[in-house]
Structure 1
Amino acid sequence: MRLDSSATTVASPASESFWRVGLLQTRERSPASLGRIVDRDKEEGRRREVGRRREEERERAQERKRDFKLHSRDVRSQSIPATTLASAPPAYSLCPPTFSVGYALTTKKIKSFMQPKLEELARSKGILLVAIEHSIPLIEQGPFDVLLHKNTGQEWRQSLEDYKRKYPDVVVLDPPEAILQLRDRQSMLRDVAELDLSNAEGFVGVPKQLVVTGNATSISDSVSAAGLKLPLVAKPLVADGSPKSHAMSLVYDKSCLSQLDPPLVLQEFVNHGGVVFKTYVVGDYVRVVRRFSLPDVPEGETNRSGVVPFPRVSCAAESAEEAEEAGILDPQAAELPPGPLLDSLSKGLRQKLGLHLFNMDIIRERGAGNRYYVIDINYFPGFGKMPDYEKVFTDFLSDMAVKRSKKISRIDSSAIL
C-alpha cells in the first residue's frame, strides 16, 4: 500500500493497477474523443441539475397545496360572524406570496388606504398588493388574482373586460355596473326599501324623498304635491365622491327652495338624537362607528329659516365615542343598532347590489326605539377611518384567496375526471 502523491487517499495495489490501466487508456484517446466525453459529462450534469430543480419545484407546489388545505380546514373550523362589533376577526395565514391584488385607486385614496401597516400585514398573510400603472395597458400587467378599484369610466370598463377574457379567473372588486348604482341618489336607496327584514329585530326604511331635475322655481310646488314635510335635506343627485357631491344643506322653509341647484334629492329630515351610525361592510364583516350628526329640530319650531349648509349646523367635531364617555351624549341615542338587524341589512344589500365594499349611514328615529333609516350608501368609503381596518381587510382578502383556491381545485379535479 502507498500514499498517492496527487491525492490525500490511500491506494491499494489492486486499485493502483486499475488506475494505471485507466491512465494508459486516457493517453491513447484522441483530443476529439476527449472533447466528446467532456461534452457528454456537461450534458449529463445539466440534465441532473434540471431534474433537481424540477423536483424542488414539485415539492414546493405540494407544500403550497398542503398549506392551502390546512388553511381551508382552519377557516371551516372557525365561525366568522357576519356582524362583529367588538371582537376581532379571525386571523388567517397563507404561505407568502400566494395571492396577488392589483389596485387602481386615486392618489388620495392610496394615501389614506394603502398604509404601511396594511401592506406589511398583507405580506405576512401571503397577499401581495401591487399598484396598477396607469401608463401601461392593464392587459399587459399582472397576472392578478384580484383587481381592486372604484372606477366606472367606459375606457376602464373596456380594459376590465379585455383583462377578464385573458384571465377569466380574476376577481374584480367590484363590477363597474354595480358601483354605478351608488352614484345616483335616486336609485341607491331603492333596494333598501325592497328588503324583507321582518325578522331583524327592528324596522329599516328610507326617509321620504323627492328627486328634482327640472327648474328650481317649480321645486316648491313639487314638494307640496309629494306631501314632504319641512325641514328637508338637500343632496346633489350625483354621488361621485367630488366635493360638489358632498355639498348638502338643510332647508327650513318653502320660500327658499328656489335657491337650490338641481338636479338634487330632497329628503325629509328625521330627528335622530344627533347620532349617525356609519356601518362599514367588507364582505361578510360589518363594523359600526358612531359619529355626530345634525341636531334634532324641535317640532313646531318656526324661528329658523333659509338654506343652511351642513358644516354650519353640524355639532362639535369630537367623536360620538368621546362624547359618550364625557357624558355629553344620550346613552340611549348612542346605543348601537342590534346585530341581527345589521346582519340582515348588510347581507341583503350585498346580494341586491352585487357589491362587497361599501358603507351605510344609518340613523335611529328620535334617537330611541327600533325604527332605523338608511340615508346614504357609499362605495369603497374611507375605510382608513374604521378601527382595525387593516386586519379586517386582509382577513377579507385571505378568505377570498381560500375560496378561489377551492374553486380552482374543483375545476382541476373535474378536468382530471
Structure 2
Amino acid sequence: MRLNGEISIANVDDDDDGDGERKENELGLIRSPTPTAPPTRLVVGYALTSKKRQSFLQPKLLALARSKGILFIAVDVKQPLSDQGPFDVVLHKLAGKEWSQMIEDYGQKNPNVTVLDPPDAIEHVNNRQSMLEDVADLNLPDYYGNSVIGFWALKLLIGRVTVPRQLVFTTDPSSIPHEVTKEGLKLPLVAKPLVVDGSAKSHELFLAYDKVSLAKLEPPLVLQEFVNHGGVLFKVYIIGEFIKVVRRFSLPDVCKRELSKIAGVFPFPRVSCASASADGADLDPKVAELPPSPLLEMLARELRLRLGLQLFNVDIIREYGTRDLYYIIDINYFPGYGKMPDYEHTFTEFLLSLEQSKYEKVLVA
C-alpha cells in the first residue's frame, strides 16, 4: 500500500532481480527477486518549507533511509494530521500559531508519536533574548563540580562556557546609544534581529563601531559584545545524543587601534555557511583546536534537557588568547544539517534510535 505523499526512491519491477532480467534456478523455477529494501518499519511525516525540503531531504538521505526501512511522507498542512499517516515520527519546521496549535494538539492526542520538536520549545530559541538565557544559567564547571563525577569532570573539561554581554531593544532606536553607555557595553557590537523566523531578514547581522551610529539600527534587535576569536567559530550540530563539530570561518578580530579609526554600522554576510568551512585550512593550531569533547557532551546533554529540543545547533567561539574560555553566540533550531558531513548516516541512526527507545519502554512496562 502506498501512503499519500511518499517520496519514491526507485521503481523496481517485480520480475527484476537487480540487472533487469528474470533468473531461473537449476529446476527451472523462477527465483524470487532480491528485495531492495527492508519492509517499512518507521514512517516519518514531514512538514517543512520548500527551502528546507531541498536542503535536507537530499537523495542520499532518502536512499539510505529507505534501505533501513524508514519512509518519509509529506504532510498536507491543510488537512487534519489525525486523518493522515499513521506516523511514527512527525518532523516539522513551519511558522505560525495555527500550525503550532495543530501540532501541539496532535502530540497530546497521539502520545506514541514522536514530535520533533515541541512548538513551545522551538519558540523559545526563535527569540535571541530567551535562547541564551539557559546558557547563561549553566555555569558548567560549577554544576558538574557538585555531581558524583565532579573532580574528574573538571579535570577533563578544561574550560568554561558563557555568553557575551547583550542588550535587547524593541522600540525607539534613538535611545540605544544612551542605554549602551549606561550599561557599559564595549564596542564593537554585533546587531542581530530579535526574532529568528527563518526569513533572510532574521539573519541580517551588522557590526557597529561607534555609539552614535547605533541610532540608525532598526529594532527589535539584540546588541551583543563582539569577542575576538581568531576568525573561526565552531558549529556544534546536535541530533539527539549525536554531536558533530565543524569549523567555519568567521569575522576577523578587531584591534583597539582599528576601532579608533572606524565609524559606522556595517552589514556582514552570514559566515557559517558550508562554503566558509575552515576544516582543513592552514590555521593557527591555537585557533583551530576544537573544544574538548567532554565539555561539548555535557553542554549538549544539559541543553537538550533545558531547551526540550533534540534538533539544534550551537555556534561557539573561543576568546582569542585563551585556551579555555568559550562563548555561545547563537542557537538554531533544525539547522542546515545538509551542510554537515555524513548527515544522512547520523540522522537515520537517530531516527532508528527513537524507535528502539520506544521498544525498550514497552518491554520495561
Q: TM-score range by the shorter chain?
A: 0.7 to 0.9
Deviation at 1:154, TM superposition (A): 2.3
Q: Which letter does structure 2 place at the counterpart of 1:176?
A: P
- The residue that corresponds to 1:304 in the other structure is 262
Q: How does 1:219-298 map to 2 (within 5 A)?
A: 219-298=176-255
- The residue that corresponds to 1:385 in the other structure is 339
Q: How does 1:362-373 map to 2 (within 5 A)?
A: 362-366=316-320, 368-373=322-327
- The residue that corresponds to 2:23 in the other structure is none
Residues 1:318 and 1:378: Cα distance change in structure 2 (over 3 Å): closer
- CA offset digits 1:168-218 (Å, max 9, x no partner): 311100000000011110110010011131133201000010111121111
Q: 1:345 aligns with which of 276, 286, 299?
A: 299
Deviation at 1:248, TM superposition (A): 0.6
Whether the 8 Å CA contact 2:195–2:202 is kept in 1: the answer is: yes
Q: Which letter does structure 1 place at the counterpart of 2:304?
A: R
- The residue that corresponds to 2:18 in the other structure is none
- C-alpha distance in structure 2 between counterparts of 1:253 and 1:383, whole Å: 36
TM-score (norm 1): 0.72
Q: Which letter does structure 1 place at the counterpart of 2:175?
A: S
- C-alpha distance in structure 2 between counterparts of 1:318 and 1:204, whole Å: 24
- C-alpha distance in structure 2 between counterparts of 1:98 and 1:158, whole Å: 28
Q: Percent identity?
A: 60
Whether the 8 Å CA contact 1:276–1:361 is kept in 2: the answer is: yes
Whether the 8 Å CA contact 2:236–2:244 is kept in 1: the answer is: yes
Whether the 8 Å CA contact 1:282–1:357 is kept in 2: the answer is: yes
- C-alpha distance in structure 1 between counterparts of 2:358 and 2:273, whole Å: 46
1:104 maps to 2:83 = no
- The residue that corresponds to 1:3 in the other structure is none
- The residue that corresponds to 2:352 in the other structure is 398
Q: 2:115 aligns with which of 169, 172, 180?
A: 172
Whether the 8 Å CA contact 1:139–1:159 is kept in 2: the answer is: no
Deviation at 1:163, TM superposition (A): 2.6
Whether the 8 Å CA contact 1:282–1:358 is kept in 2: the answer is: yes
3-state SS, counterpart of residue 171 of structure 2 = coil
- C-alpha distance in structure 2 between counterparts of 1:160 and 1:131, whole Å: 14
3-state SS, counterpart of residue 179 of structure 2 = helix
Question: Quick check: which one's helix share is greater?
Answer: 1
Q: Which letter does structure 2 place at the counterpart of 1:106?
A: T
Q: 2:66 aligns with which of 123, 127, 134?
A: 123
Deviation at 1:315, TM superposition (A): 12
Q: Which letter does structure 2 place at the counterpart of 1:270?
A: V
- CA offset digits 1:129-185 (Å, max 9, x no partner): 111123432211011111111235222233224433543311100000000011110
- The residue that corresponds to 1:40 in the other structure is none
- C-alpha distance in structure 2 between counterparts of 1:148 and 1:315, whole Å: 23
3-state SS, counterpart of residue 177 of structure 2 = helix
Which segment drifts farther, 185-194 or 133-142? 133-142
Q: 2:308 aligns with which of 333, 339, 354?
A: 354
Report the RMSD for the aligned CA atoms in angstroms. Answer: 2.1
- CA offset digits 1:316-364 (Å, max 9, x no partner): 965212422xxxx222101111101111111110000000000011000
Q: How many pairs does the alignment contain?
A: 314
Deviation at 1:121, TM superposition (A): 1.0
Q: Which letter does structure 1 place at the counterpart of 2:266?
A: V
1:138 maps to 2:81 = yes
Q: Which letter does structure 2 place at the counterpart of 1:118?
A: L
Residues 1:376 and 1:313: Cα distance change in structure 2 (over 3 Å): closer
Whether the 8 Å CA contact 1:358–1:381 is kept in 2: the answer is: yes
Whether the 8 Å CA contact 1:232–1:250 is kept in 2: the answer is: yes
- CA offset digits 1:71-91 (Å, max 9, x no partner): xxxxxxxxxxxxxxxxxxxxx
Residues 1:167 and 1:113: Cα distance change in structure 2 (over 3 Å): same
Q: Which letter does structure 2 place at the counterpart of 1:355?
A: L
Residues 1:378 and 1:145: Cα distance change in structure 2 (over 3 Å): same
- The residue that corresponds to 1:319 in the other structure is 277
- C-alpha distance in structure 1 between counterparts of 2:105 and 2:319, whole Å: 47
- C-alpha distance in structure 1 between counterparts of 2:175 and 2:96, whole Å: 33
Whether the 8 Å CA contact 1:150–1:176 is kept in 2: the answer is: no
Larger radius of gyration: 1
TM-score (norm 2): 0.82
- C-alpha distance in structure 1 between counterparts of 2:200 and 2:268, whole Å: 13
3-state SS, counterpart of residue 408 of structure 1 = helix
- C-alpha distance in structure 2 between counterparts of 1:247 and 1:159, whole Å: 30
- C-alpha distance in structure 1 between counterparts of 2:270 and 2:107, whole Å: 47
Q: Which letter does structure 2 place at the counterpart of 1:323?
A: A
- C-alpha distance in structure 1 between counterparts of 2:103 and 2:272, whole Å: 41
Q: Which letter does structure 1 place at the counterpart of 2:346?
A: V
